Structure 1
Amino acid sequence: MSRDLHAHPSFFHFILNRELDEFYISIALRFFALSMVGIFLPIYLFFKLNLPLPVVMYFFIIFAIFFALAAFMAAKIASQIGFKHLILMSIPFEITFFFLLILLPFFRIPLFLVSITGAVSRGFYWIGHHTDLAKFTLRKKRGEEVGLAFFVNTGAALLGPLAGGLILTFFNFTVLFLIGSLILLISTVPLFFSKDVHEKFSFSLKKVFKRASLKDAAAFTSQGIAIGSSGVLWPLFIFLILGGYFSLGLIGTLSGAISAFSAILVGKFSDKLGKRFFIRLGAFSFAGLWFFRTIVRTIFHVYLITLFAFIPGMASVPMDTLAYSKARFSKRIEEYLVFREIFLNLGRILAYLFMLVTASYIASFIFTGIAQVLLTLF
């Protein structure tokens, strides 16, 4: 993987752009830590703690609601502390989230409190993350650089699920959460080596919705539905088939590897062939993928469908690129990014509510597939 990265034409800009350089290193460490835990979180709640499925869905609904609220809060305070400090602020919440998860089997901790703690961390982090990319990527190479960011995210996360699976096979969730916390602490170090973006700006939620585009809102909601289904429902579904932590981690790593390398190609060619062309192609392909997921019944099926992990990035990489461009040239970067997070989380909520009402993975996958057509509105 190292040789491929050095061969990439944007790599030299990556090295020369100090803001992105340190940012990429930090997010690589963070994504590795979270990828160790992320795919196993719904498994922990449902299979390890034996929480009823509706309770698990409520956990993630609360998470999504407070994620959106935290994003709004983050934008409000960013002008006071800067965006890198915002990312730094997310770390104590994330580590507290991990420790609360460790304590859940032993103490009667309100589940909504655990969910809110994790949500605040993600809301603070993602506003800082997206603002950094919107500000420091170059316009003419934004697709390529967002593809590289996606590559770094998923590339760093390649071994995370496999490492998490191995830890759970030989140890337990407590060890997994502790190791994740340690890596999160290390991820803050690169952010101390560059100045922060510290701009005074006014922010109003009323203005966010006044300037909102209904088409963008629908597309982000659609993207959020896919994120919710991919991050929670799909792991629960395939764990019932695979039956082991290592197998689930291996699937996560294989999927990440395919996604990472395809993101580089999509980012590069979307700058040349047109981002909306890839969004439309990716939207219909992703819809088809969700329909095919409804017929997965065996371990062989799970591995076969994983080979198509390049499809989600066909839409998400150019869509993220356009979102950063729209944020940058709206001259209200923070407002647009909060608008984005609100509707992404609305999509997550809809995915969890649909599962809550139908109690059917198959119906939820069909719903997710149909929703992907809305990506073409972006």
Structure 2
Amino acid sequence: MNFKLKKRYFDGNIKSGFVALYSSKSIIRIAGGLFGIFLPIFLYGIFENNFSKVAWYYIASDFFYIILIPLGAIFLNRLGFRRALRISVFFGAFFYGTFYFASVKNALLISVISLTFLVLWRITHWIPYHVDFAKFTDKKNRGREVGLLEATTDVIGVITPFAAGLIISRAGFGTLFLIAVAIYLASYIPLLTIPKTREKFSWKYFQTWKEFFSRQRRANILAYMADGAENTVGAVVWPIFIFELLKGNYAEVGFISALITGTTIILQILMGKYVDEKFSKKKFIHFGSTLYALGWIFKIFVITSFQIFVIDAYHKLMKIFLRVPFDALTYEIAADEGHFVDEYTVIHEMALSFGKVAAMLLIIPISLSTNLSSTFLIAALASIVLNFLRAKKVAEAS
């Protein structure tokens, strides 16, 4: 069923399933945006400014996700993707709500409880979400749809970090957690209209691991591992680095993050259209990954708030040239898998988490022997490895 939305931006109609996913994901990103850069900072605080403990928290979350995701995918055969997406909303809300009760004294207990909800959320959310996104988007509009979603994230990212910084400064983290949970629960509403998809995960547990390590998938697995590695440096290390640099000023951290994000919105939308119409996705990835890697090199030398703004603004602009075609090509490859789209999604998720774990295991000794900025070299290298992504057919040239 098609949703009759005729805009100049899209080539024809878009599906109602995409509208439901887009609406729910936008609400989730409002809630997530309130945490965004502040969740690693909050963990850094309850772990008494011990970065290694923060790193081990994220390692644990990805390690258990890797081990359990094939089993989770098998279980989803019974539960169903639509029902799983709806249930995931409550797991996500419980995850964020857990931190309302967190303190230095109960940091270990809160870590165990929050990690449990986090892994459950990731299993019930990401597999159905990626499968449905591949199903509910089409080749001629996929770059536009990814671009629109990313641009919406950027719009949200202009408001939420600044708002979060003010809330934390004036009312504390507890109030922020309660607001975020309330918003997160609202993401359930669009999922009431999402169409049902009929996909069944057909691999057994050990067959999944065999496919993961198969030679024919090696290039894409490495690309997704690199994606995970780069993501964990950007999502965990960078926020703590700028927090330390700005000497714990929550409002300033939020304001600078919002200002940077606001510079990239229009280009994000235009990028999706060009990915669909003008150039090869692979060429865009090659161009974007090189310039994006340079951004990580520049960040090593950041020492002032003005430099944070200038260099991170450049970095986010370059990320557009990388992220939109990379994500569009990922969904294109998944869609080309036909009825194996959910199997491919599981492999993709496992690779992302493998990359995150590997990066963190490297980051811990580096952070203990030198400053955090040295770890940005890992992200720079990972950005280049994203070029390994390739489709089975020459579909990326469209």
What TM-score comes out, normalization by structure 2 length?
A: 0.87
Kindly state the Cα deviation for residue 12 of structure 1 after the two structures are TM-superposed.
7.2
The AA in structure 2 aligned to 1:288 is L
The AA in structure 1 aligned to 2:378 is F
The AA in structure 2 aligned to 1:138 is D
2 CA distance for matches of 1:258 and 1:130? Answer: 28
User: What are the residue-to-residue correspondences of 1:80-99 with 2, within 5 Å?
Assistant: 80-99=78-97
Kindly state the Cα deviation for residue 186 of structure 1 after the two structures are TM-superposed.
0.8
Report the more deviating stretch, 280-289 or 50-59. 50-59
The AA in structure 2 aligned to 1:273 is F
- SS of the residue aligned with 1:307? helix
Q: Among residues 355, 365, 368, which one is paired with 1:357 in the alignment?
A: 365
- SS of the residue aligned with 1:197? coil
Q: Among residues 288, 295, 315, which one is paired with 2:301 in the alignment?
A: 295
- Pair 1:143 & 2:149 matched: no
Q: Among residues 312, 317, 339, which one is paired with 1:310 in the alignment?
A: 317
User: What are the residue-to-residue correspondences of 1:237-252 with 2, within 5 Å?
Assistant: 237-242=241-246, 243-252=248-257
Kindly state the Cα deviation for residue 70 of structure 1 after the two structures are TM-superposed.
4.9
- Pair 1:185 & 2:195 matched: no
Q: In the alignment, what sits opposite 2:227?
A: 223
Q: Among residues 338, 350, 354, which one is paired with 1:342 in the alignment?
A: 350
Kindly state the Cα deviation for residue 31 of structure 1 after the two structures are TM-superposed.
0.5
User: In 2 relative to 1, CA 89–66 (structure 1 residues): closer, same or farther, beyond 3 Å?
Assistant: farther
2 CA distance for matches of 1:29 and 1:373? Answer: 32
- SS of the residue aligned with 1:117? helix
Question: Which segments of structure 1 move beyond 6 Å, counting only runs of 4 or more?
Answer: none
Unmatched tracts of structure 1, length 5 or more: none
2 CA distance for matches of 1:164 and 1:367? Answer: 29
Report Cα offsets for 1:248-301 as digits up to 9, x if no partner.
Answer: 112332343344433222221122211001100111111100000000001111
Report Cα offsets for 1:92-135 as digits up to 9, x if no partner.
Answer: 22222223222221646152342232232133222222112100
User: In 2 relative to 1, CA 69–247 (structure 1 residues): closer, same or farther, beyond 3 Å?
Assistant: farther
Q: Among residues 253, 268, 280, which one is paired with 2:273 in the alignment?
A: 268
User: In 2 relative to 1, CA 213–201 (structure 1 residues): closer, same or farther, beyond 3 Å?
Assistant: closer
Report Cα offsets for 1:54-111 as digits up to 9, x if no partner.
Answer: 1111001111223334543442233323323222221222222223222221646152
Q: Among residues 36, 41, 44, which one is paired with 2:42 in the alignment?
A: 44
Report Cα offsets for 1:144-193 as digits up to 9, x if no partner.
Answer: 22212222333334322122112101101111111111011111011112
2 CA distance for matches of 1:285 and 1:170? Answer: 38
Unmatched tracts of structure 2, length 5 or more: 390-398
2 CA distance for matches of 1:129 and 1:254? Answer: 30
User: What are the residue-to-residue correspondences of 1:27-66 with 2, within 5 Å?
Assistant: 27-66=25-64
> Contact (CA 8 Å) 1:159, 1:253: kept in 2 or not?
yes
Q: In the alignment, what sits opposite 1:329?
A: 336
Report Cα offsets for 1:204-254 as digits up to 9, x if no partner.
Answer: 342432485111111111111110000000000011122311121123323
Compute the RMSD of aligned alpha carbons: 2.2
Q: In the alignment, what sits opposite 2:393?
A: none
Kindly state the Cα deviation for residue 49 of structure 1 after the two structures are TM-superposed.
4.7
> Contact (CA 8 Å) 1:74, 1:123: kept in 2 or not?
yes
Q: In the alignment, what sits opposite 2:164?
A: 164
The AA in structure 1 aligned to 2:358 is L
1 CA distance for matches of 2:47 and 2:53? Answer: 11
Aligned residue pairs: how many? 372
Kindly state the Cα deviation for residue 8 of structure 1 after the two structures are TM-superposed.
5.4
> Contact (CA 8 Å) 1:287, 1:369: kept in 2 or not?
yes
The AA in structure 2 aligned to 1:254 is L
